[in-house]
Amino acid sequence: MLTRSELRGVLVAIVTPFTEDGELAKESLKRITNYLLGKGVHGIMTTGGNGEGPHLLREEKKAGDCGA
């Protein structure tokens, strides 16, 4: 994990996309992530500040962090 002094540049907190069935929408998350990285974003925070984190299973959190 990075320390506060190591965080630099544009950091974005994103919403977590879900399917209609309530599953993590991995392909949508991948598209969002790739789009932001293509625009020059330096870091992306998932499941952090947008309210979804407490509602995800541990496996879903891992998939969200590594799936994109």
Residue scoring higher pLDDT (28 or 5): 28
pLDDT tier at 68, thresholds 50, 70, 90:
very low
Count of structural domains, the chain: 1
CB atoms within 10 A of CB 43: 14
Per-residue pLDDT band for 24 (boundaries 50, 70, 90) equals confident
Q: pLDDT tens, 55-64?
A: 677 777 776 6
Q: Which residues does 49 contact at the CB level (< 8 Å), separation at least 6?
A: 13
CA dihedral 15, 47, 16, 20 (to 10 degrees): -140
What average pLDDT does the segment 16-31 reach?
Answer: 90
Q: What is the extent of the structural domain holding 42?
A: 4-66
- Read off the pLDDT of residues 34-45 as tens digits, 9 standing for 90 and up: 999 999 999 888
The two three-digit tokens of residue 8, written as one number: 């630099």
